[in-house]
Amino acid sequence: MIKTTNFTEIHKQLNAKMVEFAGYTMPIQYPKGIIAEHNLVRNSVGVFDVSHMGEFEVRGNDALKFVQKITTNDASKLAKWGIQYSAMCFENAGIVDDLLVYYIDDNFYMLVVNGANIEKDWNWCVKNAEGMDLELTNVTDDVNLLAVQGPNSRATLQKLTSTDMSDDNLKYYNFKLGNLANTEMIISRTGYTGELGYELYFRGSEEVAKDVWNAIFEAGAEFGIEAVGLGCRDTLRLEKGYMLYGNDIDENTNTLEAGLGWITKLAKGEFNGSDILTKVKEEKPKRNLVAFVSNAERFIPRHHYKIFVGDEEVGFVTSGNLSPTLNKPIGMGYVKAEFKALGTIIEIEARGKRFPAEVVKAPFVS
Quote the pLDDT of residue 103: 98
Helix axes of 34-43 and 230-239: crossing angle, nearest 10 degrees? 60
Quote the pLDDT of residue 222: 98
Contacts of 330 (CB under 8 A, 6+ apart): 238, 239, 291, 292, 293, 294, 301, 320, 321, 322, 323, 364
Considering only CA atoms, give the Rg of the chain: 21
What is the band of 261 on the pLDDT scale with cuts at 50, 70, 90?
very high
What is the band of 346 on the pLDDT scale with cuts at 50, 70, 90?
very high
Start-end of H helices in the chain:
8-13, 34-43, 63-70, 118-128, 153-158, 206-219, 230-239, 274-283
Asked whether the CA dihedral 171, 34, 306, 250 is positive or negative, the reply is: positive
Tens digit of each residue's pLDDT (9 = 90 or more) over 18-66: 999 999 999 999 999 999 999 999 999 999 999 999 999 999 999 999 9
CATH number of 61-133: 3.30.70.1400
Amino acid letter, residue 337? A
Quote the pLDDT of residue 244: 98
pTM of the model: 0.97
Strand partners, 315: 307, 335
Quote the pLDDT of residue 337: 98
Domain-wise residue ranges, the chain: 8-51+141-239, 61-133, 286-360
Query: How far apart are the C-alpha atoms of 319 and 283, rounded to whole Å?
Result: 27
Which superfamily does 8-51+141-239 belong to? Probable tRNA modification gtpase trme; domain 1 (3.30.1360.120)
Query: How far apart are the C-alpha atoms of 124 and 272, rounded to whole Å?
Result: 11
Q: What is the mean pLDDT of residues 90-116?
A: 98
Q: What is the mean pLDDT of the chain?
A: 98
Strand 108-113 and strand 95-105: the pairing is antiparallel
Cα–Cα nearest to 260, from 280, 237, 235, 236: 280
For the chain, give the percent of residues with pLDDT over 70: 100
Cα–Cα nearest to 264, from 66, 70, 74: 74
Q: What is the mean pLDDT of residues 99-104?
A: 98
Does the structural domain 286-360 have CATH classification 1.20.140.10? no
Q: What is the mean pLDDT of residues 99-126?
A: 98
Quote the pLDDT of residue 353: 96
DSSP 214-263: HHHHHHTGGGT-EE--HHHHHHHHHHTT---BTTTB-TT--TTTTT-GGG
Q: What is the mean pLDDT of residues 134-160?
A: 98
Tens digit of each residue's pLDDT (9 = 90 or more) over 281-304: 999 999 999 999 999 999 999 999
Quote the pLDDT of residue 357: 98
Query: How far apart are the C-alpha atoms of 192 and 243, rounded to whole Å?
Result: 10
